[in-house]
A and B are shown apart, each in its own frame.
Chain A
């Protein structure tokens, strides 16, 4: 069948039913497309499990981050709601002024992330507060009529969800398009609450989960894109009826809370009783995600410096969307497992060791082809070189050992990185960056201790005062103690020793304070000659600037940190077999996520040679 027609633009193709049952799985395409057939099944399984893990982890992180906000919102609902329930002075006076309780939820410019937030918010509310939730989007509501339609549709549907036994007659109602007005809404609300009230003995579940006469929550997802008129009308209309049923509005705001006042005139906004809620900024959000996902040993796959830069740049320069960042990371996972046959070893250490044993000969050859492994071989003695290059079993042994080394390296790397970050993040002007991700990138890029920035930050660290230094050391101790690394006992000991030395120093100072200070001696001496002499001595000593004990100790501490950095923060691409766990084809990522069609056209037209490798061009 052809897809050319003069009268049609859409063509549907349906294979015959018996053919259709051969539906291919994703794994099939993974196998088909991957460059190397080795272990593709295993790779795909690993990839999938890793993706799932990352997904659940990120979701959990997000939930934790939103928890506070949601708690606040729920308590806000409770407060506004209790007023309604009591139907006492406060409520009546509010009814007189017809104010609708409103939560202004400032979510930031990363609009794409809002969807997830709203979804979990409505889930939380559904579970704890009320079944009557309507989520409205500007694109569905060009007019007040559509808005009311949408609102009623959603509310009546959710009512059906709650008690499915009554589905029949209610579906009937919603089908036969009731006239969408506030009165229908109120009637519906009364009947719905009455029903649940009468059924409470039978249905404990609903009553225990929700409050009595639960409020109707209307969420405007994207407040800014709503037409002013629609919003105004809705607010005015519903304020007329606020006495008859408990309505609560939630405005999702991307820019600033000022927008409410610019969208709604004073006469309308005075009908709202607005409370402001601020969600976590997307930058903090990203930092948490990076901290929990990339800077741990939990996930075997790591990102190289360039890849991370690309992802962060897309975040910072394009959308501020954490979801997109995670999507990019997911793409990295797929790409890595898809393109790299050795990625089969990219899993937890024990599993990887087992997999090493079952490597095929081809895979062993793949290992030998890795540049980092070649470097390693060259550094060995000749007999061992031959063994590594010819005997598979000895290679496997070496690979196991190397993988273990790599694991240990990571285990040490991240805690030490955090310690270094504790130091650098408090320095003036942040020579190594304010965020830990910047420091991480710097460390991955090349030997960090060879950079100028590191030099200057060390110099600045040598000028820290004592209290800062002590708090930093304490923080470092905390980080190291809580980390699983095995080699840290010694370091912790050493740091603690420094701490006690500082402590002692303090005591010594106090003691010295008690002893007679040179100034006091000065006062005693009345002889002019002596006075001159001592003054000279004082001056002399100031000039030569003999290091105090504190300074000596400070130098020692900084030097010690320096030595730690030199030992543990070796860039990853100096490590053997880093190709297995590091995804480093940044160009692929950029091409697919941040493409530049303009440039492609430009090149194709100006320099066709780059595509058609023809000598003529």
Chain B
């Protein structure tokens, strides 16, 4: 029916299709039971969808408006040949525009509102049916909805999460699975029938919404105790809970179980071994569409000399798009940069810092011996040298400019300033979907980017090769075990000292600018706990920790020494829990 039209309405498609799918699903699943009400059910959705169409019309208008802006920017697919820019911005972004989500919210609230009423037409006939098919019954009352919507003052206040979920791009999959889950669940519970009857007795109250929308398993517990009190509770639950339509059998539950299993398995295996086997397995499977991908890559390779030209003309180049761009850049390096001084930076390298980038420029490119007080000084030195000597040229290739280590504001600022030098040519790749958010206007103008889309579809082998590497102490479990090991070899007093520090740090974990515990305060606390008797003993203990890299000291702006445990909060709390168990 309106399927095609819905499609044309852009993002709305994701909403309507599942409804019908669900309807079909229900018809199939609970077909025999619902037979009586079926006609009515199927007839009504049509009306409802018609109404939705009316709404979708003006939404389509909005989409059109959005698109016209995008089109003005030249999105028009005809000219952009292979590149994926033919997708209008509207299609990708619509779920987030506030206007639309309001509409969605209206719909959502309608959906949330109606089910209770839907039971009104003939409650005596098929109470359990309405209960069992909440989604469909909702729709069976479009006429009432229309009257009701006018009263819906709280439309915009519908839970944000609900709105978001309804508007979510993959609502189709999600809702389908959820609905089926709730259906199956309800078949189990016989209490459902009772509930509905209780609900019907309170039809005039707002609580009716909840009757159908909340999972019965949860309700049975509360319901039986106290009917009257529930009304209020139910009301709030119905209007606040995001899980209006779902059962509590969530993916998380499932995943946790699986994950635990998986973790146990992992414990048995050596991590490295596992990685190796995974790698081998992946290696064996042939790359799909190898020919096409190769062709794609060749297309990009033909751009190399153009890139060189544009680099020389003062632009810097940034590559984006799906797939690893490591090989492409490597090819660029080997084919174009053999005769020039160039610097390759692996942004994905876990311990890369801007300092190391600057160091390799000063030490290896400029042959400068000596140290600098700060990266800014170093940068200044580099800029001066490059400005003085116009024959100096440097090509900088950065794989993953948006990596964890380089995405910080200061690092980006330094790199941007570096790239703004006329004789430094920067070509970089980014992969994170929000990578452009790293740059504000000032940085962007320093970088002077030219964007090139290079979707390669090649696997991120090189980039992910450091993941879970033993050299990188990323995994919390590793740090935790080392913590306990070291601590076990220490005296109880020393352990107490460490505990104090850990607890203090956890108390302050919400404070983003927490500098650490100052030495004086720490000493005071330790004294009060009878852990140390003098300044010196505490210092001696701290040296022990410092040697094992359990704590880090830092001087604050006022010259006070601050102590920090360089472990993430979750590991730290795990550690404390374990310690508590031991004691």
Decide yes or no whether B568 CB sits under 8 A from chain A. no
A579-617 contacts to B (CB < 8 Å): 585-587, 589-605, 607-608, 610-614, 616-617
Chain B residues near A115: list those with CB within 8 A.
445
Instruction: Please encode chain B, from 137 to 163, with 1 for each CB lying within 8 Å of some chain A CB and 0 for all others.
Output: 000000000000000000000000000
Decide yes or no whether A528 CB sits under 8 A from chain B. no
Chain B residues near A314: list those with CB within 8 A.
73
> Do A604 and B87 touch (CB < 8 A)?
no
At the interface with chain B, which of A183-191, A305-313, A556-564? Answer: A305-313
With A597-B433, A601-B433, A612-B457 as given contacts, are A15 and B85 in contact (CB-CB < 8 Å)? no
- 9 inter-chain pairs at a CB distance below 8 angstroms, sorted by A residue, are A3-B330, A10-B344, A32-B305, A319-B444, A591-B453, A602-B91, A603-B85, A603-B86, A612-B292
Chain B residues near A313: list those with CB within 8 A.
69, 72-73
Decide yes or no whether A11 CB sits under 8 A from chain B. yes
At the interface with chain A, which of B271-279, B350-358, B542-550? Answer: B350-358
Chain A residues near B445: list those with CB within 8 A.
112, 115, 321, 323-324
Chain A residues near B361: list those with CB within 8 A.
12
Decide yes or no whether B473 CB sits under 8 A from chain A. no
Chain B residues near A143: list those with CB within 8 A.
557
> Do B435 and A597 touch (CB < 8 A)?
yes
Among B304, B322, B346, B356, contact of A604 (Cβ-Cβ < 8 Å): B322
Report the minimum CB–CB distance from A315 to chain B (whole Å).
12
> Do B351 and A9 touch (CB < 8 A)?
yes
Decide yes or no whether A111 CB sits under 8 A from chain B. yes
Chain B residues near A604: list those with CB within 8 A.
84, 321-323, 455, 457
Chain A residues near B344: list those with CB within 8 A.
3, 10-11, 13
Chain B residues near A23: list those with CB within 8 A.
339-340, 393
Q: In the bound complex, what is the Cα–Cα distance between A281 and B292 (angstroms)?
A: 50
Instruction: Please encode chain B, from 444 to 462, with 1 for each CB lying within 8 Å of some chain A CB and 0 for all others.
Output: 1100101111010100001
Report the minimum CB–CB distance from B493 to chain A (whole Å).
38
A589 closest partner in B (C-beta): B74
Decide yes or no whether B89 CB sits under 8 A from chain A. yes
Query: A323-B445, A617-B289 known; 14 other A-B pairs, CB under 8 Å?
Result: A10-B359, A12-B360, A19-B338, A24-B339, A33-B306, A309-B72, A309-B74, A313-B73, A587-B76, A590-B73, A591-B451, A600-B320, A602-B91, A604-B84
Decide yes or no whether B293 CB sits under 8 A from chain A. yes
Among B80, B82, B305, B306, contact of A611 (Cβ-Cβ < 8 Å): B82
Decide yes or no whether B331 CB sits under 8 A from chain A. no
Q: In the bound complex, what is the Cα–Cα distance between A602 and B450 (angstroms)?
A: 21
Report the minimum CB–CB distance from A298 to chain B (whole Å).
22
Report the minimum CB–CB distance from B415 to chain A (whole Å).
12
Instruction: Please encode chain B, from 302 to 316, with 1 for each CB lying within 8 Å of some chain A CB and 0 for all others.
Output: 011110111011010
Q: Which of B303, B313, B323, B448 has the most CB of A within 10 A?
A: B313
Chain A residues near B388: list those with CB within 8 A.
none
> Do A610 and B84 touch (CB < 8 A)?
yes
Total interface residues in chain B, CB < 8 Å: 81
Q: In the bound complex, what is the Cα–Cα distance between A139 and B412 (angstroms)?
A: 12
B309-349 contacts to A (CB < 8 Å): 309-310, 312-313, 315, 320-323, 330, 337-347, 349
Among B312, B357, B448, contact of A26 (Cβ-Cβ < 8 Å): B312
Decide yes or no whether A29 CB sits under 8 A from chain B. yes
> Do A601 and B321 touch (CB < 8 A)?
yes
Q: In the bound complex, what is the Cα–Cα distance between A331 and B309 (angstroms)?
A: 12
Chain A residues near B567: list those with CB within 8 A.
none
Chain B residues near A585: list those with CB within 8 A.
79
With A10-B356, A598-B92 as given contacts, are A611 and B557 in contact (CB-CB < 8 Å)? no
With A10-B344, A310-B74 as given contacts, are A586 and B79 in contact (CB-CB < 8 Å)? yes
> Do A603 and B309 touch (CB < 8 A)?
no
Q: Which of B82, B306, B357, B359 has the most CB of A within 10 A?
A: B306
With A3-B330, A331-B450, A611-B296 as given contacts, are A20 and B339 in contact (CB-CB < 8 Å)? yes
Among A4, A12, A111, contact of B364 (Cβ-Cβ < 8 Å): A12
Chain B residues near A589: list those with CB within 8 A.
74
Decide yes or no whether A338 CB sits under 8 A from chain B. yes
Q: In the bound complex, what is the Cα–Cα distance between A556 and B303 (angstroms)?
A: 57
The 5 closest A-B pairs by CB, nearest first: A603-B84, A9-B349, A595-B451, A33-B305, A9-B352
Q: In the bound complex, what is the Cα–Cα distance between A593 and B462 (angstroms)?
A: 29
Secondary structure call for the B interface: mixed
Q: In the bound complex, what is the Cα–Cα distance between A602 and B87 (angstroms)?
A: 8
Q: In the bound complex, what is the Cα–Cα distance between A586 and B72 (angstroms)?
A: 10
> Do A26 and B313 touch (CB < 8 A)?
yes
Q: Which of A15, A26, A610 has the most CB of B within 10 A?
A: A610
Instruction: Please encode chain A, from 300 to 341, with 1 for each CB lying within 8 Å of some chain B CB and 0 for all others.
Output: 000000100110011001010101100100110010001000
B448 closest partner in A (C-beta): A327
Chain B residues near A608: list those with CB within 8 A.
289, 457
With A29-B305, A591-B83 as given contacts, are A15 and B320 in contact (CB-CB < 8 Å)? no
Report the minimum CB–CB distance from A588 to chain B (whole Å).
8
Chain B residues near A30: list those with CB within 8 A.
309
Chain B residues near A543: list those with CB within 8 A.
none
Decide yes or no whether B246 CB sits under 8 A from chain A. no
Report the minimum CB–CB distance from A492 to chain B (whole Å).
38
Q: In the bound complex, what is the Cα–Cα distance between A605 and B345 (angstroms)?
A: 28
Q: In the bound complex, what is the Cα–Cα distance between A601 and B320 (angstroms)?
A: 9
Among A3, A327, A593, A612, contact of B293 (Cβ-Cβ < 8 Å): A612
A330 closest partner in B (C-beta): B313
Decide yes or no whether B221 CB sits under 8 A from chain A. no
Report the minimum CB–CB distance from A613 to chain B (whole Å).
7
Chain B residues near A600: list those with CB within 8 A.
83-85, 320-322, 453, 455
Chain A residues near B351: list those with CB within 8 A.
9
Among A6, A330, A605, contact of B471 (Cβ-Cβ < 8 Å): A6
> Do B457 and A9 touch (CB < 8 A)?
no
A320 closest partner in B (C-beta): B441
Chain B residues near A14: list those with CB within 8 A.
341, 364-365
Chain A residues near B357: list those with CB within 8 A.
10
> Do A602 and B557 touch (CB < 8 A)?
no
Chain A residues near B76: list those with CB within 8 A.
587
